[in-house]
Homo-oligomer: A and B are copies of this chain.
């Protein structure tokens, strides 16, 4: 995972959690994250599709949380904004002449699914409320 979308998303959602029902515009979110508003808006689209936020257009528009922070897990956030792949696979198909080459891809699939499940479980155990608490008391 070479992207910072998960980091951005956690940051943005933490701000929204503190603003409660008040809308935050992509411009103001971009300022705290230190990026471009369009980058934030693209993120908001994915978070909205995952049901974590709602957005409103027009004056006083912006984003608000769609659920209580206790009900949002980092697993949901991660799966909303990042690719599920944990590590890259063979870019060119391995040799079918070699017995290992023939079967390694499916075995790597097994490894990846175990790794993904484990990561998932861990992220599921961390809620946005936990993050807010840590940001406040750190």
A residues contacting B by CB (< 8 A) are: 1-8, 10-11, 14-15, 18, 31-35, 74, 78, 82, 85-95, 97-101, 103-104, 106-108, 110-111, 114-115, 117-119, 121-123, 126, 131, 134-135, 138
Task: Tell me the nearest residue of chain B to A2, going by C-beta.
Answer: B2
Return A81 CB to nearest CB of chain B, in Å.
10
18 contacts between A and B (CB under 8 A): A4-B90, A6-B87, A10-B107, A11-B101, A14-B100, A15-B100, A18-B99, A31-B95, A31-B98, A32-B95, A33-B101, A86-B86, A103-B134, A107-B135, A111-B123, A111-B131, A114-B126, A118-B119
Return A53 CB to nearest CB of chain B, in Å.
16
* Given pairs A1-B85, A7-B90, A31-B98, 17 additional interface contacts (CB within 8 A): A2-B88, A3-B87, A4-B88, A4-B90, A7-B87, A7-B104, A7-B108, A10-B107, A18-B99, A32-B101, A33-B94, A34-B92, A86-B119, A106-B138, A111-B131, A115-B123, A119-B119
